Every structure is written in C-alpha cells, then in structure tokens.
Amino acid sequence: MFSFIKKYTETMEHSTIYPIFSLLVFVLFFVGVLWYVKVMDKKEVETIKNLPLEN
C-alpha cells in the first residue's frame, strides 16, 4: 500500500508541498488546542477535572 502511495506521489507535481502542508496543519492544530487550554476559564477546568468523580 505504501509503495502505491509513493508511486502516486512521485507522478504529481510539487509532491514535496504535501508533507510540508500536512505538518503545518498538524502544528497549527496543536498550537490552537494549547492556546484554547491556556485561555480556558479556571472554573470550567475545575468542573471538567471533577467530572469522573461525580455520579
């Protein structure tokens, strides 16, 4: 299966752009999630933290 994907991407123009683009999307998503957690309200964090302990 990997060889099929490799052969397919070799025939494409600018095939080096796709790995860079996918890495960029992953990093931006990861940074976005970290930013969201950083700006979350502390009361909401406490509520989420205690959810497994409540009935």
* Six-digit token string for 41: 């309200």
Q: What is the pLDDT of residue 7?
A: 75
* Six-digit token string for 18: 């796709």
Which residue from 37, 17, 36, 35 is spatially nearest to 25, judged by alpha carbons?
17
Q: Are 44 and 53 in contact (CB under 8 A)?
A: no
pTM: 0.58
Q: What is the pLDDT of residue 1?
A: 64
Measure the CA–CA gap between 13 and 2, rounded to whole angstroms. Answer: 19
Q: What is the pLDDT of residues 1-55, one digit of tens each?
A: 667 777 777 777 776 787 888 899 999 999 999 999 999 999 998 888 888 877 6
